[in-house]
């Protein structure tokens, strides 16, 4: 953690002026108080990284303000100033939790040395707290990667090979497959363990704010920028920065990210100082990055920089053998979270869960088990406890909507199949839906493939490949 905001409290105006001027010249955000009561009031309203307090002040002493700060804001470091170099003052200050003390008159270089030491101490404290949090999250239910399927074993092997290095990793997979869990596992098994793990969702932050979140800003950089702000790159120093949904990053920001990866340096918004950064990048997306590169919505050079080691997470439907293990894991979590003594899943219910498509993947399965466990009238989950999976149109879908009609048709068709003997259902259904959809659009556009691609929202080359793959007769759609 960098020292940014400093409070100086002293009843001597000359001391306040000298310290404020010297510290502001070093780009610190400095505020002053003329007595202990004012200092306490300011601390109540704002958080300071460092407080420099005179030991003797009217109304309330520096030691009293120190005690208040230690009680209310233990992360704030305090330096006590005293005009009397007595052992009693030094011992009392340190005993009450001061980080250090200065004897007046003092050289400003001595204060600089203390601030530098305080910065390093604060960083160590923050890293220890981060380590505790990450270790706890690693062993908490719901924060563990579950699965023994062949596809997950492949993921584990790749994770084991790359975790110890600093290479950039790109994790791909549908929503709900556990991309952030994999990113955390990489960090937890790397040499950066104990350093910060900072995650940011590029799709959840408006594009005009995303740059500020990543790179931070200087005081006065724009209206409302009343203080310097460290961005995610600075916060993740010596640790890992997880860029989730990287495919949604605006093109203009992609160029700046590429420079960071190449030069290992950033500049805050509104600033001129170039800051070196030591951060490992792990990115993730649920989009087809190759298609994004092809249609120019994602920079090719950045894609190759990110895709040094790709990790592809399989959807739950492609690792159904892991479902019983996941169900038991989430049942165990439900027992712990909801205080349920015992809750089990009947063979019939487990079979139904194993045959479900799970478009929301592991996250959907977890929420389904959680809901059923809470509402179950007894200690055994049966198919009746999963009404949304029993051939009904799922909640939230209107029966006459396109999705509702497709859902009913799929339920009817799948009921006549032995799903346990199938291994390509997803591709089969997808092709049966894609083919008539593309046929209809081609007919409506008089076989104008450029216009058809626009209507479908895909690249023209992608449309051409699908026409060939699906065996669509373009001449017939054109009326020839």
Give the domain CATH number at 299: 3.40.50.300
285 forms beta bridges with 172
The overall average pLDDT reported for the chain is 84
Query: Does the pLDDT value for residue 411 go beyond 90?
Result: no
Q: Would you tell me the crossing angle of helices 449-456 and 425-444 to the nearest 10 degrees?
A: 130
Whether 165 and 249 map to the same domain: the answer is yes
pLDDT at 141: 34
pLDDT at 179: 94
The domain boundary residue, chosen from 297, 314, 331: 314
Whichever domain contains 53, its CATH number is 3.40.50.2300
Whether 153 and 225 map to the same domain: the answer is yes
Q: Which range marks the domain in which residue 344 is found?
A: 319-390
pLDDT at 140: 38
Whether 444 and 372 map to the same domain: the answer is no
Query: Does the pLDDT value for residue 145 go beyond 70?
Result: yes
Q: Which residue has the higher pLDDT, 414 or 458?
A: 458
| pLDDT band at residue 414 using 50, 70 and 90 as cut-offs | low
Whether 384 and 299 map to the same domain: the answer is no
Question: What is the DSSP code string of 422-447?
Answer: -S-HHHHHHHHHHHHHHHHHHHHTTT
Average pLDDT of span 41-62: 91
* Within a domain: 419: no
Average pLDDT of span 12-32: 91
Average pLDDT of span 10-39: 92
Q: Which pair of structure tokens corresponds to residue 238?
A: 């010596």
Separation between Cα atoms, residue 22 and residue 28, nearest integer Å: 9
Average pLDDT of span 258-275: 90
> Do 270 and 228 meet the contact criterion of CB atoms below 8 Å apart?
no
pLDDT at 136: 45
Separation between Cα atoms, residue 399 and residue 381, nearest integer Å: 27
Average pLDDT of span 206-230: 85
pLDDT at 139: 36
* Within a domain: 436: yes
Average pLDDT of span 432-457: 87
pLDDT at 142: 37
Three-state SS for 151? helix
Whether 357 and 440 map to the same domain: the answer is no
Q: Which pair of structure tokens corresponds to residue 271?
A: 């600033």
Whether 373 and 280 map to the same domain: the answer is no
Q: CA separation (Å) from 431 to 13, 60, 316, 422?
A: 79, 77, 20, 16
Whether 309 and 326 map to the same domain: the answer is no
Whether 306 and 157 map to the same domain: the answer is yes
Separation between Cα atoms, residue 115 and residue 184, nearest integer Å: 33
> Tens digits of per-residue pLDDT, 25-44?
888 999 999 999 999 999 99
| pLDDT band at residue 403 using 50, 70 and 90 as cut-offs | low
Whether 40 and 78 map to the same domain: the answer is yes
* Within a domain: 408: no
Contacts of residue 404, defined as CB under 8 A and 6 or more positions apart, other chains included, come to: 393, 397, 398
* Within a domain: 22: yes
| pLDDT band at residue 66 using 50, 70 and 90 as cut-offs | very high
> Tens digits of per-residue pLDDT, 157-200?
888 888 888 999 999 999 999 999 999 888 888 888 888 999 99
Separation between Cα atoms, residue 52 and residue 114, nearest integer Å: 11
* Within a domain: 396: no
Whether 270 and 363 map to the same domain: the answer is no
> Tens digits of per-residue pLDDT, 252-262?
999 999 999 99
Query: Does the pLDDT value for residue 479 go beyond 50?
Result: yes
Whether 171 and 278 map to the same domain: the answer is yes
Please choose, from the candidates 114, 94, 155, the residue with its C-alpha nearest in 3D space to the C-alpha of residue 314.
155
pTM score, whole prediction: 0.56
The domain boundary residue, chosen from 292, 314, 336: 314
Per the structure, the count of domains in the chain is 4
Question: What's the full length of the chain, in residues?
Answer: 480
**Torsion angle, CA of 266/267/269/273, rounded to 10 degrees?**
160
Query: Does the pLDDT value for residue 309 go beyond 80?
Result: yes
pLDDT at 477: 63
Whichever domain contains 431, its CATH number is 1.10.10.60
> Tens digits of per-residue pLDDT, 125-138?
676 666 655 554 55
Whichever domain contains 358, its CATH number is 1.10.8.60
Contacts of residue 109, defined as CB under 8 A and 6 or more positions apart, other chains included, come to: none
The domain boundary residue, chosen from 295, 314, 333: 314
Separation between Cα atoms, residue 97 and residue 257, nearest integer Å: 42
Whether 386 and 292 map to the same domain: the answer is no
Q: CA separation (Å) from 356 to 316, 395, 415?
A: 10, 16, 11
pLDDT at 396: 47
Q: Which residue has the higher pLDDT, 475 or 442?
A: 442
């Amino acid at each position: 953690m960098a020292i940014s905001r400093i409070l100086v409290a002293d009843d001597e105006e000359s001391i306040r002026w000298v310290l404020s001027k010297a510290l502001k010249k070093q780009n610190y955000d400095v505020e002053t108080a003329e007595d202990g009561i004012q200092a306490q009031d300011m601390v109540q309203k704002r958080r300071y990284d460092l407080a420099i307090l005179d030991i003797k002040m009217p109304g309330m002493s520096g030691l009293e303000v120190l005690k208040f700060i230690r009680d209310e804001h233990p992360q704030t470091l305090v330096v006590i100033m005293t005009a009397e170099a007595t052992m009693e003052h030094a011992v009392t200050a340190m005993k009450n939790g001061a980080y250090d003390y200065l004897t007046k008159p003092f050289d400003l270089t001595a204060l600089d040395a203390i601030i530098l030491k305080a910065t390093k101490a604060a960083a160590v404290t923050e890293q220890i707290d981060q380590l505790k949090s990450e270790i706890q999250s690693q062993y908490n239910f719901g924060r563990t990667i579950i699965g023994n399927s062949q596809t997950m074993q492949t993921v584990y092997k790749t994770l084991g090979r790359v975790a110890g290095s600093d290479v950039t990793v790109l994790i791909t997979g549908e929503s709900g497959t556990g991309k952030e869990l994999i990113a955390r596992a990489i960090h937890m098994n790397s040499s950066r363990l104990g350093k910060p793990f900072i995650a940011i969702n590029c799709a959840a932050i408006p594009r005009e704010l995303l740059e500020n979140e990543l790179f931070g800003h200087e005081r006065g950089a724009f209206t409302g920028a009343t203080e310097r702000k460290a961005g995610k790159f600075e916060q993740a120093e010596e640790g890992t920065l997880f860029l989730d949904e990287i495919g949604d990053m605006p093109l203009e920001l992609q160029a700046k990210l590429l420079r960071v990866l190449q030069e290992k340096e950033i500049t805050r918004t509104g600033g001129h100082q170039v800051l070196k950064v030591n951060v490992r990048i792990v990115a993730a997306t649920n989009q087809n990055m190759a298609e994004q590169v092809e249609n120019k919505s994602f920079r090719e050079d950045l894609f190759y920089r990110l895709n040094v080691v790709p990790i592809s997470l399989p959807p739950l439907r492609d690792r159904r053998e892991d479902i019983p293990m996941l169900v038991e894991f989430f049942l165990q979590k439900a027992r712990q979270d909801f205080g349920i003594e015992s809750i089990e899943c009947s063979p019939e219910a487990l079979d139904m869960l194993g045959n479900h498509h799970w478009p929301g993947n592991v996250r959907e399965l977890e929420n389904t088990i959680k809901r059923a466990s809470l509402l179950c009238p007894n200690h055994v989950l049966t198919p009746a406890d999963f009404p949304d999976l029993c051939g009904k149109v799922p909640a939230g879908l209107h029966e006459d909507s396109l999705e509702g009609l497709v859902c009913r048709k799929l339920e009817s068709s799948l009921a006549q199949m032995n799903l346990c003997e199938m291994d390509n259902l997803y591709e089969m259904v997808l092709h049966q839906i894609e083919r008539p959809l593309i046929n209809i659009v081609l007919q409506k556009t008089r076989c104008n493939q450029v216009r058809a691609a626009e209507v479908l929202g895909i690249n023209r080359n992608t449309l051409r490949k699908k026409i060939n793959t699906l065996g669509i007769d373009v001449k017939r759609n054109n009326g020839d």
